């Protein structure tokens, strides 16, 4: 049973690219015919190499055991990210998935997310606590310069009977 269906409005999404550390990558979230599109250009110049988007989540996710996304991409590896704070910086929990040029449904159990901070694993961080999820997002940091595009048709938090 789907616990929470994240609405596909463009409004709450914000971009955070490697410009925060001197890089020149550009990316953001756009509305598309199918829902949303995370797209832009990744650059490795000036020690850059990441583009991300995120949004706040205010729904009660306390019974969630996983996330289900429907995506279509360019064959690159993306990350779905969860944050348990409303802050700009700090630990996030990351799960990597490969995109395909065909629509695909990807289910990720919350216990499969890895805590990371600025690209490094944080082994002492606790696992994801569903009731504390405050932000979600997508990130591209595959060390490959060039254009990228990931379409997102839906994002749902699911319970154990859906896995």
Would you tell me how many other CB atoms lie within 10 Å of the CB of residue 8?
15
Q: Residue 118 region, left (φ>0) first, then alpha (ψ -120 to 50), else beta?
A: left
Task: Give the CATH number of domain 51-147.
Answer: 2.60.120.430
Query: What is the phi/psi pair of residue 53, to 5°?
Result: -135, 150
> What pTM, to 2 d.p., does this model score?
0.93
Query: What is the phi/psi pair of residue 121, to 5°?
Result: -65, 145
For position 163, what pLDDT does the model report? 59
Give the domain ranges of the chain.
51-147
Instruction: For residue 158, count CB atoms less than 10 angstroms from its CB and return exposed for 0-12, middle for 13-18, buried for 19 or more.
Output: buried
Using one digit for the tens of pLDDT, what is the confidence trace for 73-91?
999 999 999 999 877 778 9
Residue 32: which pLDDT band, with cuts at 50, 70 and 90? very high
């Amino acid at each position: 049973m789907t616990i929470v269906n994240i609405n596909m409005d463009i409004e709450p999404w914000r971009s955070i690219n490697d410009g925060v550390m001197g890089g020149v990558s550009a990316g953001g979230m756009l509305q598309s015919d199918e829902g949303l599109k995370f797209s832009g250009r990744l650059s490795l110049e000036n020690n850059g190499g990441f583009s991300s988007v995120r949004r706040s989540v205010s729904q009660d996710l306390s019974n969630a055991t996983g996330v289900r996304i429907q995506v279509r991409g360019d064959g690159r590896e993306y990350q779905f990210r969860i944050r348990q704070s409303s802050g700009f910086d700090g630990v996030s929990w990351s799960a990597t998935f490969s995109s395909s040029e065909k629509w695909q449904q990807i289910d990720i159990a919350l216990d499969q997310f890895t805590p990371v901070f600025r690209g490094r694993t944080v082994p002492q961080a606790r696992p994801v606590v569903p009731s504390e999820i405050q932000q979600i997002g997508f990130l591209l940091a595959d060390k490959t310069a060039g254009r990228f595009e990931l379409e997102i048709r839906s994002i749902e938090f699911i319970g154990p009977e859906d896995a």
